[in-house]
């Protein structure tokens, strides 16, 4: 019996598989986190429910029948009953979900766009840019959010903005008010990164600022952005619900989970017609919990210091 | 004598210490305090000294990764610290650096091929089509394989990462490379490979090195001339043979006596230095070394010894040399 010599020359070894990119590793770690995967599944189901669900409904959003269908309890035709105008609650719930999720997503996207850009500029250029941007951030953080939102809501009502368009203003307001957290995080991250030797290397190589920021610094801040954004979506959904519940966010007839719960304001609806307010409440709860589970999972998966 | 490539003239680099409510400047860390030397074309100059003596700071100030406090760095006849940002960017193609830590010197999210090639592209030195071929050629020169092109840094060992770092510097076709302790983070067996790679490259590409190290045996292998630093100042500088045969400064003697010799029967006189290296924020008066020097006397505490040529380009700063 003879032993074959193992190939020692590096060039004879065939490269195995795809390169094991940091993203691939993160995905693998995420899928090993059971709670996070459950959260993701719930969120997917929720999104399908809101986006695809309405197509299967035999009813129409604008269809109402106060005479015959007012305040029906859940039954075979209307699974979640009807409201005081005789509208199908299930259909309204699904369409409300579209609005609530969309507001959450777009508001967060706006926050990130503003926050990440300003944070990166502050962290990279430091000195003057840093001082100005971070002082503006301080001002925004010092603003009491709720009164401002209420005032904005009142202004929108006063200007008689159509309910359809109010949604967009709401996204913008929530987004603009929320950029500071992400700006601070991105700035902090970039301040640490720029002291690393690989950033000194980019300086020694004479790379342009553009490449340094977008190719070297930003990709390293994406994990933190993803995590904050995920948790931010949950926060924005809650904020939207709260405002809509108070009647200054999304206003009827456009449904949102928040303004659907408003029916719990009336004692009769609260005691006798729980099908009006329990389902949207549950939807908010489930969605926010699912998003938070995903956010935690992403944090664990993307943080290289938490290697398991 | 051959042509001078780099001249460091009375270079000083102080880092301010700030304190108090208003972040007033309360003092300076004198990391590099009045250092002068020259490096000729094709030469490798070794810079040795303890941790914290300012070796790396010199390397980085020469490349203008740090701004100087005083003095001049003249490279190919141009004062590096007087160039505009855009001129400096152009100059960067001529002078490169290999870093000490092969782990933090590579961006974890950038593939090796891009990390090596991006600077060429950014400087417009190569067309996009030819880039990959150039990178692979450089990878192979540095002892790596072509399929490493698409790998991420975390898939490599320390020695391989250091080769990547060398390839990244080399692809620019520099005249001058600062090697900032390129082997001190590596295993001894790997150290030899990297040193051999560096010396092969020097021969093939007529490179000039500033080789920073705290390991005299490494410097002995690679360098033509050696400068010894203590607490931000140059205490002795001579050609390698002269320095090893005839060290004049007591600090150099102590360092040389600390080189391990692979012969357990050999009895040697070990000069063991007492105490710690003093703070560069508040260096001792007179000769900075007097607090630890076995020969120290009164004059050492009072007068700063002149850094003088004792013949044959052997420079030393000691009252007794």
B59 vs A contacts (CB less than 8 Å): none
A250 token code pair: 């999304």
Q: Is the pLDDT of residue A12 over 90?
A: no
Q: Which of B109, B123, B138 to mutate against chain A (most A CBs within 10 Å)?
A: B109
At B310 the pLDDT is 83
User: Average pLDDT of A48-71?
Assistant: 76
How close, in Å, is residue A215 to chain B by CA atoms? 8
B104·A20 Cβ contact <8 A:
no
List CB contacts of A110: < 8 A, sequence separation 6 or more: A171, A172, A174, A175, A176, A178, A179
**Can you give the pLDDT at residue A66?**
66
Of the spans A175-184, A236-245, B309-318, which averages the highest pLDDT? A175-184
Give the largest Cα separation in chain B, rounded. 68
Q: Please answer yes or no on whether B155 and A20 come within 8 Å at the CB atom.
A: yes
Q: What is the pLDDT of residues A89-129, one digit of tens each?
A: 888 888 888 888 888 899 999 999 999 989 988 988 888 88
Confidence of residue A19 (pLDDT cuts 50, 70, 90): low
User: Which domains occur in chain A, in start order?
Assistant: 24-49+93-306 (1.10.3720.10)
Q: Which two tokens stand for residue B178?
A: 């600062």
Average pLDDT, chain A: 81
* Cβ density class A219-257: b for 16+ within 10 Å, e for less: ebbbbbbbbbbbbbbbbbbbbbbbbbbebbbbbeebbbb
Calculate mean pLDDT across residues A243-262.
81
| pLDDT the model gives residue A89 | 81
> For B93-108, what is each residue's pLDDT tens digit?
888 998 888 888 888 8
Whether A264 has a pLDDT exceeding 70, the answer reads yes
What is the DSSP pairing of strand B315-316 with strand B233-239? antiparallel
Between the two ends of chain A, the Cα-to-Cα distance in Å is 42
CATH (one of 3.10.180.10, 3.40.50.300, 3.40.50.150, 3.10.20.30) for B4-94+174-316: 3.40.50.300
Interface test with B, best of A206, A224, A225 (most B CBs within 10 A): A206
Distance of residue B57 Cα from the nearest chain A Cα, in angstroms: 13
pLDDT at A62 over 80: no
Q: Where are the domains of chain B?
A: 4-94+174-316
Does A209 touch chain B if contact means CB atoms closer than 8 Å? no
Chain B contact set for A211 (CB, 8 A): 118, 122
Residue A41: pLDDT band (50, 70, 90) is very high
Q: Is B60 on the interface with A (CB under 8 A)?
A: yes
* The pLDDT value given to residue A307: 45
- Can you list the residues of chain B whose pLDDT is less than 50? none
Nearest alpha-carbon partner for B141 in B115, B110, B173, B111: B173
What is the mean predicted confidence (pLDDT) over A129-150?
88
pLDDT at A13 over 70: no
Q: What percent of chain A has pLDDT over 90?
A: 10
The answer to whether B3 contacts chain A (CB < 8 Å) is no
User: First vs last Cα of chain B: how many Å apart?
Assistant: 26
- pLDDT value of residue A4: 47
Kindly state whether A12 is in contact with chain B, defined as any CB-CB distance less than 8 angstroms.
no
Give residue A1's pLDDT band: very low, low, confident or very high (50, 70, 90).
very low
Chain A partners within 8 Å of B101 (Cβ):
197
Per-residue pLDDT at A308 exceeds 60: no
Q: What is the ipTM of this complex?
A: 0.79
pLDDT given for residue A6 in this prediction: 44
Quick one: pLDDT band at residue A306, thresholds 50, 70, 90?
Answer: very low
Q: Is B92 in Cβ contact with A204 (below 8 Å)?
A: yes
Contacts 24+ apart (CB under 8 A), A127-136: A130/A187, A133/A183, A133/A187, A134/A183, A134/A184, A134/A187
A201 and B97 within 8 Å at the Cβ level: the answer is: yes
Partner A contacted by B149 (CB < 8 A): no
Evaluate whether B169 touches B97 at the Cβ level (below 8 Å).
Answer: yes
């Amino acid at each position: 019996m003879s032993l074959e010599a193992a190939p020692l020359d590096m060039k004879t070894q065939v490269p195995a598989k795809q390169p094991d990119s940091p993203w691939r590793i993160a995905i693998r770690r995420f899928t090993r986190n059971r709670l996070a995967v459950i959260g993701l599944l719930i969120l997917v189901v929720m999104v399908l429910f809101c986006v695809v669900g309405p197509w299967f409904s035999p009813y129409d959003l604008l269809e109402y029948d106060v005479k015959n269908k007012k305040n029906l309890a859940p039954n075979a035709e209307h699974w979640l009953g009807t409201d005081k105008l005789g509208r199908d609650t299930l259909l309204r719930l699904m369409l409300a979900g579209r609005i609530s999720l969309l507001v959450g997503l777009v508001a967060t996207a706006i926050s990130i766009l503003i926050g990440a850009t300003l944070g990166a500029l502050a962290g990279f250029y430091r000195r003057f840019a840093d001082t100005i941007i971070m002082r503006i951030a301080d001002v925004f953080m010092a603003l009491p959010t709720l009164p401002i939102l209420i005032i904005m809501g009142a202004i929108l009502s006063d200007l008689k903005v159509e309910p359809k368009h109010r949604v967009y203003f709401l996204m913008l307001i929530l987004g603009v008010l929320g950029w500071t957290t992400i700006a601070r995080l991105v700035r902090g991250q970039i301040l640490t990164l720029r002291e690393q030797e690989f950033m000194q290397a980019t300086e020694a190589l004479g790379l342009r600022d553009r490449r340094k920021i977008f190719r070297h610094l930003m990709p390293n801040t994406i994990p933190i952005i993803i995590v904050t954004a995920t948790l931010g979506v949950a926060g924005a959904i809650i904020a939207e619900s709260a405002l809509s519940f108070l009647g200054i966010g999304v206003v009827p007839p456009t449904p949102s989970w928040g303004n659907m719960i408003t029916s719990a304001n009336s004692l009769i609806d609260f005691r006798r017609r729980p099908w009006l307010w329990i389902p949207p409440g549950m939807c908010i709860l489930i969605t926010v919990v699912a998003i938070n589970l995903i956010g935690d999972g992403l944090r664990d998966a993307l943080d290289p210091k938490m290697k398991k | 004598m051959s042509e001078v490539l780099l001249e460091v003239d009375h270079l000083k680099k102080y880092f301010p210490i700030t304190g108090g409510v208003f972040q007033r400047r309360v003092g300076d860390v004198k990391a590099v305090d009045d250092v002068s030397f020259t490096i000729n074309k094709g030469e490798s100059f070794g810079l040795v000294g303890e941790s914290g003596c300012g070796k790396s700071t010199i390397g980085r100030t020469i490349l203008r990764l740090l701004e100087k406090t005083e003095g001049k760095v003249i490279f190919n006849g141009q004062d590096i610290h007087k160039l505009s940002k855009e001129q400096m960017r152009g100059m960067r193609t001529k002078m490169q650096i290999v870093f000490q830590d092969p782990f933090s010197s590579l961006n974890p999210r950038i593939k090796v091929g891009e990390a090596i090639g991006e600077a060429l592209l950014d400087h417009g030195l190569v067309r996009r089509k030819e880039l990959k071929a150039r990178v692979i050629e450089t990878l192979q020169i540095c002892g790596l394989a072509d399929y490493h092109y698409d790998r991420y840094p975390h898939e490599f060992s320390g020695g391989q990462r250091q080769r990547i770092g060398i390839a990244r510097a080399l692809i620019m076709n520099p005249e001058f490379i600062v090697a900032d302790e390129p082997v001190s983070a590596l295993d001894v067996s790997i150290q030899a490979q990297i040193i051999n790679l560096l010396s092969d490259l020097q021969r093939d590409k007529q490179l000039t090195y500033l080789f920073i190290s705290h390991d005299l045996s490494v410097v002995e292998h690679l360098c033509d001339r050696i400068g010894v630093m203590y607490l931000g100042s140059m205490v002795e500088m001579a050609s390698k043979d002269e320095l090893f045969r005839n060290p004049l400064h007591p600090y150099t003697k102590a360092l040389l006596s600390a080189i391990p010799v692979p012969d357990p029967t050999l009895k040697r006189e070990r000069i063991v230095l007492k105490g710690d290296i003093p703070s560069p924020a508040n260096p001792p008066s007179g000769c900075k070394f007097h607090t630890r020097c076995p020969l120290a006397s009164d004059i050492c505490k009072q007068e700063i010894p002149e850094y003088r040529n004792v013949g044959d380009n052997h420079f030393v700063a000691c009252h007794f040399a």
